[in-house]
């Protein structure tokens, strides 16, 4: 196993993310004339889960339900509703699942803490397996996986940050 070669391939894939342009599903007739209201609508749409796709925001989804929700959000903004009121309306209507970043409360503890618990269980299983087999090779592979995963998360976050900054500078 050639670690350097694998590292270069994976690094290339992560860096390629910056070159890929995400397309959004907002159609021209949905766009609001008031630029501030449109920015608010886009920001809210990026934080609402598409109930059809379930792993995309309604800003990225071209499902009919996502389009209806985008139009609903724009109508609420035109009616003078605040961001908090719109999020409350949507979560009351569809539950906290519709929020891509659900609030930390007693009903969402599993959503927030189960990934950490599963991660710790996985580390424990790998550790127990290491005692029985090739101890250092598995630790080495897990270490590289964690590095690549952290790099992936960093690149994704940086890309979103740069995209948001560019959007704000246009206004």
Could you report the per-residue pLDDT of 145-154, keeping only the tens digit for each? 777 777 777 7
Please determine, for residue 61, whether its predicted confidence score (pLDDT) is greater than 80. Answer: yes
pLDDT band at 97 (very low <50, low <70, confident <90, very high): confident
Q: Residues 76-82: what's their mean pLDDT?
A: 92
Q: Where are the alpha helices (DSSP H) in 3-134?
A: 3-16, 35-46, 64-78, 83-94, 109-132
What's the CA gap between 25 and 58, in Å, rounded? 8
Nearest to 145 by CA among 47, 6, 48: 6
Domains and CATH numbers, the chain: 3-103+134-170 (1.10.8.640)
How far is Cα 12 from Cα 25, in angstroms, rounded to an integer? 28
User: Sign of the C-alpha dihedral, residues 12, 13, 18, 20?
Assistant: positive
- Bridge partners, residue 57, by sequence: 49
* CA dist list (Å): 72 to 53, 86, 92, 125: 18, 9, 14, 47
Query: 167 versus 41: which is more confidently predicted?
Result: 41
Average pLDDT over residues 54-67: 85
Cα 31 to Cα 110: distance, rounded to the nearest angstrom: 37
């Amino acid at each position: 196993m050639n670690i350097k070669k694998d590292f270069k391939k994976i690094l290339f894939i992560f860096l390629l993310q910056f070159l890929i342009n995400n397309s959004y599903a907002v159609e021209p007739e949905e766009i609001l004339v008031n630029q501030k209201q449109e920015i608010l609508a886009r920001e809210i749409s990026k934080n609402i889960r598409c109930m059809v796709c379930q792993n995309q925001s309604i800003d990225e989804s071209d499902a009919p339900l996502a389009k209806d929700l985008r139009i609903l959000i724009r109508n609420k903004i035109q009616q003078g509703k605040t961001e908090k009121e719109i999020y409350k309306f949507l979560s009351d209507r569809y539950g906290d699942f519709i929020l891509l970043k659900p609030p930390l409360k007693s009903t969402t503890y599993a959503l927030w803490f189960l990934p950490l618990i599963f991660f710790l269980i996985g580390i424990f299983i790998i550790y127990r397996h290491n005692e029985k087999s090739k101890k250092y090779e598995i630790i080495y592979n897990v270490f590289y996986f964690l590095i690549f995963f952290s790099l992936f998360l960093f690149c994704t976050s940086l890309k979103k940050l740069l995209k948001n900054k560019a959007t704000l500078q246009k206004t």
